[in-house]
Amino acid sequence: MSHSLALLVAATEPVVRLTPQARILAAILAIAFMLLILDLIRRDKLLERYSIVWFLLGIAMLLGAIFPILLEWLAKAMGVRDVTIALFSVTLLILLALSLNFSVIASRQSKQITRLAQQSAIDGVEGEQPPENESD
Amino acid sequence: MRKLVFIPAWNEEKSIEAVIADAREHVPGADVMVVDDGSTDQTAELARRAGALVASLPFNQGVGAAHQTAYIYALRHRYDICGQLDGDGQHPASEVARLIAEVEAGADLAVGSRFAGNVNPNIPEYRSTFARRTGQRLFSLLVSTSTRQTFTDTTSGMRALSERAMRLFADRYSSEFAEVESLQQAVRAGLVVKEVPVHMLAREHGNSFITPLTSAYYIFKTLIVLLIGQLRPRQVGE
């Protein structure tokens, strides 16, 4: 009993941290990532409204690299002793949420395209036609 | 009663003229429309020359979107009833005329069933592959269970609809699983749905979009759609 309690206490104190080398690499990648986003917007390949979330992710990545204490807080809050595991879990969840969000957007746009196609088909009907329904 | 008979067609240039002529002959007094679902062949051209109204979708959208196009059109042009038959010649228009009569008699949705009994011994019985029949049996079982009404041919695209049914489907209609899901949708909305035994013919040209290769995947997707359909809030049929 006391043994497992000691483990619980230990779990609140992160023991595996990012090495300085990994932090420098992460900072460089974060900056490169944000530059890429900016370039995509500049070349009209990415709409601003879809870029904001990626930009926020880049900033979060940069902050995590510069202030490792943030990641340690995160690990502590999640109850894991390894900072990298906290990082991976959170990243995975964010990516999962984002891809689900894109599926929702794709579904909505697909529905809109269908409505447009139908409207265009109906407008294009030629020949003798009955009067339009005015109440509609 | 203003009637519209429509024919969803995707690359059916070989059969479309005959189907239009058949519809003209057996459903007198109805306007005939072809919903061309992004055909790349002469379907639209031939249909127009045959004197049918033609609604051309700019690109292939799937059979559900084609049906829905006709419902929206029919409502906008004040049709009271619409009948539908496939563009490949599988559906004799004389049978569609019987479905329209059912709607005139008060049904909201009349569905032609190949498996509800042999109605005319002079026409050879409709044949199907084992995999397809198994899938159809499974759909029938599920739709019948969920609606507490017996359906034997849930994938049938030979139908007739009242204005009320058209309104329901113009609002929401599955693009991929149109036939199966729409039965569940209609019964849940309180519409009067009637299955009528009909004859269908074997395909003369082309292949059904449900090939044995994709049927397993199709069945799986339809199961999910039906399950979700059961959990959806009921639409209100006016």
Locus of tokens 């019964």: B187
Share above pLDDT 90 across residues of chain B, in percent, rounded to a whole number: 65
Per-residue pLDDT, B195: 95
Interface A–B counts its CB contacts (< 8 A) at 61
Per-residue pLDDT, B54: 97
The mean of the pLDDT values for chain B is 88
Q: What global pTM score does this model have?
A: 0.81
Per-residue pLDDT, B13: 94
Per-residue pLDDT, A125: 93
**Touching check for B136 and chain A: CB below 8 Å?**
no
Sign of CA dihedral B36, B38, B43, B48: positive
Q: A124, B33: Cβ pair inside 8 Å? A: no
For residues A61-69, give the mean pLDDT.
Answer: 93
Secondary structure element (H or E) that encloses residue B197, with its range: strand B193-197
- Give the pLDDT band (50/70/90) at residue A56: very high
**DSSP sequence for chain A:** -HHHHHHHHHHTS--B---HHHHHHHHHHHHHHHHHHHHHHHTTSS-HHHHHHHHHHHHHHHHHHH-HHHHHHHHHHHT-SBHHHHHHHHHHHHHHHHHHHHHHHHHHHHHHHHHHHHHHHHHT--SS-PPP-TT-
Per-residue pLDDT, A136: 45
Q: Which residue has the higher pLDDT, A108 or B217?
A: A108
Quote the minimal CA–CA distance from A108 to chain B in Å: 13
Helix (H, G, I), strand (E, B) or coil at B217: helix
Q: Which residue has the higher pLDDT, B45 or B210?
A: B45
pLDDT at residue A126 is higher than 90 = no
**Helices marked H in B77-129 — which ranges?**
93-104
ipTM over 0.85: no
Q: Which residue has the higher pLDDT, A49 or A3?
A: A49
Q: B57, A117: Cβ pair inside 8 Å? A: yes
Q: Domains in chain B, please, with CATH?
A: 3-231 (3.90.550.10)
CA distances from B4 to B32, B145, B159, B215, B237 (A): 6, 32, 12, 32, 21
Chain B positions in Cβ-Cβ contact with residue A130 (cut-off 8 Å): 2, 31, 77-79
Sheet holding B53-57, edge to edge: B53-57, B30-37, B3-9, B81-84, B159-162, B109-113, B193-197
Per-residue pLDDT, B202: 74
**Touching check for B2 and chain A: CB below 8 Å?**
yes
Q: B77, A124: Cβ pair inside 8 Å? A: no
Closest chain A residue to the Cα of B70, Cα to Cα: A122
Chain B positions in Cβ-Cβ contact with residue A125 (cut-off 8 Å): 33, 53-55, 73
**Touching check for B76 and chain A: CB below 8 Å?**
yes
pLDDT, tens digit (0-9, with 9 covering 90-100), for A70-97: 999 999 999 998 888 999 999 999 999 9
pLDDT, tens digit (0-9, with 9 covering 90-100), for B55-101: 999 999 989 999 999 999 999 999 999 999 999 989 999 999 999 99
For residues B29-56, give the mean pLDDT.
Answer: 96
Chain A positions in Cβ-Cβ contact with residue B30 (cut-off 8 Å): none
Share above pLDDT 70 across residues of chain A, in percent, rounded to a whole number: 82
Closest chain A residue to the Cα of B4, Cα to Cα: A130
The mean of the pLDDT values for chain A is 86
Per-residue pLDDT, B66: 96
